[in-house]
Amino acid sequence: MSDQKINTLGFIGLGVMGGPMCANLLKKGGKPVVVFDTSAAALQDASSHGASVAQDVGEVAGKADIIFLSLPSIDQVETVANAILAAPRKPAMIVDMSTSNVARTRALAKLVNDAGVHFVDAPVARTKQAAIDGKLFISVGGSETDFEHVRPYLQCMGSDVLHCGDIGNGQIIKILNNYMVFMTVNALSEAITIGRRAGMDADKLLDLLSQGSADSFALRNHGMKSLAKDTFPEKTFPMTYAIKDCALALDLAKEGAFVPRIGTYTYNVMCQARDAGFAQNYHPAVIQLIDGRVKVDLPAQV
């Protein structure tokens, strides 16, 4: 596979993250992009940025040399990948930018490779705004050669594009990155609750903590922009997405015969928040359960 053979790119999955990622690929990639999504509105938006709209997955496979996927879970990734492989004409490479189960990603990669198509996992981290700005963190699993082929296009979407090793390693980094964020949000929620009850304003508390050793990306982003201001909008990495990613981390732990206490507690609190009506809200909404504003019986520590 050489750059000369890459004439057209494909993008399937134009959701909250995929839409702006595709827009940046169109803007900076230097190649035509053919797209598909089940949402007519998403397709119209991609078309307004210059994309060619396909009628189905098979049409994308018939035109694109590298196809990027940004889908809700490994279930959809497997379905779409199989549809690509069933097409009369196949791409040279599939790049899964979804957050997917590691074992199933590796099994799918073997299936795709056996069909003569290269496979790379390249899940993304950071916020919707980072996707819009082209400043995502992208962790990549695959061969060094495949990474070098796809890196110029990933750099259209991300400011930090890291090769993490073999297939599945990109997923491990992404999953554990988010896992750490979820636990940190839980800890920040407790710190804010303690500070507020002691008479301190949350904005002031976090501003001062950011100047000490407690500083972190999660404190400045999730803490200052959401937790302290009690702002938990929909369509900004909702609780259901956080639960899914945390569950993937717990699956990895189980495969390694490890029982994570903090992570399990965090997962259970997020499930409680989902059931309390916050399924579509930005996941730091857990603070409303932690500080007692929403009355639920929080899970006991394991």
Residues labelled as active-site residues:
174
Number of helices and strands (H, E) in the chain? 13, 9
Strands (E), 113-213: 118-121, 124-125, 136-141, 158-165
Helix 261-273 with 239-255: angle, nearest 10 deg: 150
Helix (H) or strand (E) holding 24: helix 18-28
SS (H, E, C) 52-89: EECCCHHHHHHHCCEEEECCCCHHHHHHHHHHHHHCCC
Assess contact for 181 and 137: CB atoms under 8 A. no
Largest CA distance in the chain: 67
